[in-house]
Structure 1
């Protein structure tokens, strides 16, 4: 009589076969198209003719380290902010770093939690101006003597318009240009965000000519946003990396580095 050989359970055979095959669950390599947004320091800062540094560049590199299957490309190429938003909505880019919420953008882009960092909006005046501002009513009372410069295409302008009763000049798209207009006396105030003000003032060549008023006029969180054409599984991977950065304190550390 031949010996009886018991068949191995099918489950065991499948497991043994799986161990011999490469892991099918490895995360897929994905390139995400981004750009460096002009006039948004400390998110993006020029560091020479061919190099861009800053908070968002560090955030991209940290996400890549956490999830090596994600690669951000394009952060060494400058682009005006308005065009960057447009190209994301037209699916020519995949993500933007450091975006403030508003109704129009909510319809176009996918916002990822957690927020990257908060920004504080401050008023700047000429160095010799002794004006005292505690709130927006103080600015309104100045009437035509209280014109506020803002940047076209930035969320700042929408915020000022929503406040009502303010004299606003948003003809410039470059914060450095608005600083020069302020220093030349073409308006009373310039509203811009911190962190990054001191570096912007120095690079605009107006150090000693303008000063930052101490009152924070409003605070808002900035987010990583993705185009709605991006695969939800890819957006989820970016979100998980950001969650890990928040949990480990990496987001706070990077903000402190560039504050």
Structure 2
């Protein structure tokens, strides 16, 4: 099967997860891990059935209209949080606190992500979703072109570490939303092919292998 995985997630997790699936069922043959594409391209290819599977994606109304999701088991769970510059003393507990900041509360979001879709449903926020790359948004935050960078906690941590910005950026403790990263599939994928993948995923859950893998990557 043709597939892609989420290169913006924890480095190595999805590859290790896929390899674990193949150890459970050696008949599962995947290809496509050697090419990284923009998320918008991956969604387009998935909807057009040029690829069969995508590890891993947040479920949104827009995406459900284009392709399918396997909700159980989830690959891992995420919490939506915000990163701010380390020298900014701001401390918000929720969206109301950000709204109260007015023009001083610009939120950076990465275009075409589930986080951007969720923010679009929240009234009264000033959102800048011009960047299509997470690291670009982090750099925009550091340069003062936004006050908050909103994303899944695991992605924020990965970006900060990749940029070597641990001393310049902090992630606030407030959780704005909880969600799961799921397996997405092409709308016309044969049910028996999908069922075989899901069966292997459930075996990983029952054996505890999936939980051990999540723990190894600091996930839940």
The bucket for the TM-score relative to the shorter chain is over 0.9
CA distance in 2, matches of 1:108, 1:243: 25
Q: Which residue of 2 aligns with 1:78?
A: 36
Task: List alignment gaps of at least 5 residues for structure 1.
Answer: 1-31, 46-53
Q: How far is the alpha carbon of 1:101 from its aligned partner?
A: 1.0
1:76 Cα deviation after fit = 2.2
SS at match of 2:73: strand
* Residues 1:102 and 2:102 aligned together: no
Partner of residue 176, structure 1: 135
Distance in 2 (CA, whole Å) between partners of 1:168 and 1:126 is 17
Moved over 6 A (4+): none
- TM-fit CA distance, 1:35: 2.5
The one of 62, 67, 89 equivalent to 2:47 is: 89
Query: Of the two, which has the highest radius of gyration?
Result: 1
What displacement does 1:95 show?
A: 0.2
Q: Is the 8 A contact 2:6 2:14 kept in 1?
A: no
Q: Which residue of 2 aligns with 1:49?
A: none
Secondary structure of residue in 2 paired with 1:119: strand
Q: Which has the higher contact order (CA 8 A, sep 6+)?
A: 2
1:138 Cα deviation from its structure 2 partner: 0.4
Aligned partner of 2:168 in structure 1 is 209
Question: What are the superposed Cα offsets for residues 169-218 of structure 1, whole Å, 9 maximum, x if unpaired?
Answer: 00001100000000000111000112243332121243311111111121
More strand by share: 1
Match of 2:17 in 1: 59
> Take 2:114 and 2:29, find their aligned partners in 1: how far apart are those partners?
28
User: Could you list the runs of 5+ residues in structure 2 that have no partner in the other structure?
Assistant: none
Contact 2:83–2:156 (Cα < 8 Å) also in 1: no
Contact 1:37 1:79 in 2 (8 A): no
Structure 1 position 36, deviation (Å)? 4.1
In the alignment, which residue of structure 2 is the partner of 1:41? 9
Structure 2 distance, partners of 1:236, 1:178, is: 38
SS at match of 1:124: strand
**Normalising by structure 2, what TM-score?**
0.94
SS at structure 1 position matched to 2:175: strand
Root mean square deviation, CA, Å: 1.3
SS in 2 for 1:132: coil
What CA deviation, in whole Å up to 9, does each residue of 1:8-36 have, x standing for no partner? xxxxxxxxxxxxxxxxxxxxxxxx11124
